[in-house]
Amino acid sequence: MTPSTNNGDSTILLVPPQLPPFLASIFDLKPILGSPSPREVNLVHSAIRALNNVSQTPELRDTELSVELSQHLFDIQMAWHRQKHPVNVLPNEVVYDPPTLPGYIPLEPKSITGPPSSQEIAFVHTALRISQSFANVPSIFDPDLHAEISQHLFDIQLVM
């Protein structure tokens, strides 16, 4: 992350790592100034999934890029979190509303107020794993929902 100033307001410039040509031709990750859009978040998630798939091939494995992309996703999620949950609100007063899950994810999420329990974190993590399990089924997988579940998990883990 690179701090930057825009019109007197403090904003953050989120610069993605450079992708190798075989990924860059598919995922055009651009620097993000300020709060990321859902499309930008989904693009990073998609790039990570693609990199995870090719990492099974030793010639294409790049653990450094994997770490850099994960850090970039963390920075994006932190920017999204700051936009959604201002720092002037006490963590015990914040209500974390989960995304609505479709029928193929057989869980009923509930809102979490304040720091979550281990069981609540495990519940959201399970929902994320179920969502991820459909990543190779385009007719079912919803990248927007997956990003929302991931962000929800990030948000509740941050207040632990």
How many angstroms separate the Cα of 126 from the Cα of each of 15, 119, 133? 30, 10, 11
Work out the mean pLDDT of the chain and round it to a whole number: 87
pLDDT beyond 50 at 8: no
pTM beyond 0.85: the answer is no
Residue 159 phi/psi, 5-degree rounding, is -95, 5
pLDDT in tens, 46-86: 999 999 888 777 766 677 898 899 999 999 999 888 888 77
* pLDDT band at residue 1 under the 50/70/90 scheme: very low
What's the token pair of residue 19?
Answer: 């992708």
- Maximum Cα interatomic distance, the chain, rounded to a whole number of Å: 49
pLDDT of residue 59: 67
Q: Which residue has the higher pLDDT, 137 or 160?
A: 137
Answer for the pair 98, 110: CB distance below 8 angstroms, yes or no. yes
pLDDT beyond 60 at 2: no
pLDDT beyond 90 at 88: no
pLDDT of residue 124: 96
Q: In sequence order, which residues have a C-beta less than 8 Å from that of residue 96 and are 6 or more positions away?
A: 111, 112, 113, 116, 152, 155, 156
**Strands 2-6 and 32-33, how do they pair?**
unpaired
**Strands 2-6 and 9-14, how do they pair?**
antiparallel
